[in-house]
Amino acid sequence: MAVPKRKQSHARKSKRRSSVWKLRLPKLVACPNCGEYHMPHRACPACGQYDGRVVLAVGEEEK
């Protein structure tokens, strides 16, 4: 069984783990109704549709 001859230093350990903390960007999908990009499995903030039906009331602002 392989056993390390020396203890690995803290710096060497930190270098190996340096990329673990990085976060991934969320994926975006295009809305089939309006074409705007939004996060998957969520209602489109531009048109308010999800799975082919309106679930959010998105209206134009009145002046």
Structure tokens, 47: 């048109």
- Percent of the chain predicted with pLDDT > 70: 94
| Interval 7-63: pLDDT, tens | 999 999 999 888 777 777 889 999 999 999 999 999 999 999 999 888 888 876 555
pTM above 0.85, yes or no: no
User: In the chain, what are the domain boundaries?
Assistant: 37-63
